Amino acid sequence: MAIQENVDGLVHISFDDPPTPQFIALAAARKVFVAPTLTVLESATGIPSGESLTHDPHLAPYLTAEEIEKLRFAFPNRGGLTLDGALSAVAQLKAAGVPILAGSDAPNPGTAWGVSIHREMELLVAAGLSPIEALRAATSAPADAFRLKDRGRIAKGLRADLVLVNGNPDEDITATRDILRVWKLGMEVARTPVPVWMTATGLRQAFESGRAHAHAH
């Protein structure tokens, strides 16, 4: 119904019932984009989608205790849902030429701002996108979909919003997690680990110290 009313795109995708051929054909014909938000859908199956991110040595030092808690949380799965339907829907949309955009719907359970895009790209690859296509889903495809002509690519005259990673995300999409340097509008952004007191370890140590102090009294 939304597509028939001429929306530009859809956020989320069905994962309980498979999309009908008519839906796929209409989405392709109307040239809408789809941001499936697979990471939040994975959390809706009862699996904390961001759990793996909290254990990644390239990302964990930059996550606050609050972010780690969100990433390790999930919705209760009351209907036996799996992610298979959503992955299949994305594969069918891609095959029909529908632009796929990376988005997480943070800060829902299992997600956190920024960091969840790494899991989203990983899930897009699991759905059948190549690593290059997953990278485009997070860069040039959104710029095209939202008609932002000044960003989304590395080219003369565009915004110098850049992320330098160690490795080859063209082959292994998880290489995007090993970030070396970041630039925004051409200015390098200092990327420093979260202070210890803001991490899960720091909060646990503070709690244990406070409990020991209380026992001493």
Question: How many folded domains does the chain comprise?
Answer: 1
Within 8 A by CB and 6+ apart from 82, the residues are 15, 45
Q: Is the pLDDT of residue 213 over 60?
A: no
**Residue 122 tokens, joined:** 């990983």
Q: Give 126-151 pLDDT, tens digit per residue.
A: 999 999 999 999 999 999 999 999 99
Q: Is residue 79 part of a domain?
A: yes
Q: Is residue 166 part of a domain?
A: yes
Q: Average pLDDT of 79-101?
A: 94
C-alpha distances (whole Å) from 84 to each of 114, 117, 204, 209 are 25, 20, 37, 45
With cut-offs at 50, 70 and 90, classify the pLDDT of residue 117.
very high
Give residue 119's domain range: 9-216
Q: Is the pLDDT of residue 200 over 90?
A: no
- pLDDT attached to residue 78: 81
Whether 13 and 41 have beta carbons less than 8 Å apart is answered as yes
Question: What percent of the chain clears pLDDT 90, i.e. is strictly above it?
Answer: 83
Q: Is residue 54 part of a domain?
A: yes
With cut-offs at 50, 70 and 90, classify the pLDDT of residue 94.
very high
The average confidence (pLDDT) of the chain is 91
Q: What are phi and psi of 33, to 5 degrees?
A: -105, 160
Q: Is residue 3 part of a domain?
A: no
